[in-house]
Structure 1
Amino acid sequence: MTDFLDTVEGPDWLYDAINSLICGDTVTALRSFGKPVALVTPQSLYEALAEHLGAQEHIAPLLTDNREYPIEQMICEIIAGGSRVHGKAYDSACSALGTPKAKHHPTALHDLAESLIRPRANEYGQARAEELATDLAADRADQRKADAA
């Protein structure tokens, strides 16, 4: 199977999935009969962010005992809202995360989100292909019924 991210749909899906994850949505893939399966959850992003922040030299580890990651969630919400909404808080959050590794990413949080989503892209692509095949089979069955009538 072709790498899903090399398809026409792949880069757009990755971009949308990164932004959805940063905004607190779970990245899902649909299985047969429309049942969604979680690929990456916001909790995974918060955990990765906690590890990232803990690795920063200028920030003490921010892990909490209750594992709810309130600080990491707040940083995600500030970055999701953008600089127009949060002003200096947005700049501070971006500064705390460091410089993004990918030149096309506005923040290091986007790097983290992509690192969580990219390995699951082919799983999404496979689920999407199954969904399209199921739809095509249903359309063909409907056409055969219409032709027989």
Structure 2
Amino acid sequence: MTKAALRPAVPDDEPYLRWLEEACMRNYAIALWGSWRPRLADALILGEYRIIAVGHEDVGCVSVTRREDHFWVNKLYVAPGHQKCGYGAIALRQVLGEARAIGLPVQLSVLTTNPAVAFYRREGLVIYEETPERRFMTSGVR
């Protein structure tokens, strides 16, 4: 496996990011809500995104917002065809390391229809709250 690297997203990545979200989330949204609605064009905060690249190929993304008391993972997507290769773990571990270096936990939510909760559990996150739609997870306390 070629090593994955994270690079900042640029405006030319926007079509890829929109495609990636639909490719990764459409079926889970339909299973939960009965339909898929793409995000509004202005809802993408490009500065929060990093592209997961393997060589010259983009294979996914991670979007993180630093809040006062934690890092919030908005998105972590790996493109179909590249899933289960460790690329998502590389990206998550980098975010976890950045947060740990300044003493903050990482938090995120997973749709209840999304089996990614098992991936996050393997990476050490735990569920701290559940709703009918989401499981909220954290890397722990500071």
Shared fold by TM > 0.5?
A: no
- Whichever of the two has the greater Rg, that structure is 1
- Larger strand fraction of residues: 2
Q: TM-score w.r.t. structure 2 length?
A: 0.27
- Larger helix fraction of residues: 1
Higher relative contact order, chain-length normalized (CA < 8 Å, sep 6+): 1
Q: TM-score w.r.t. structure 1 length?
A: 0.26
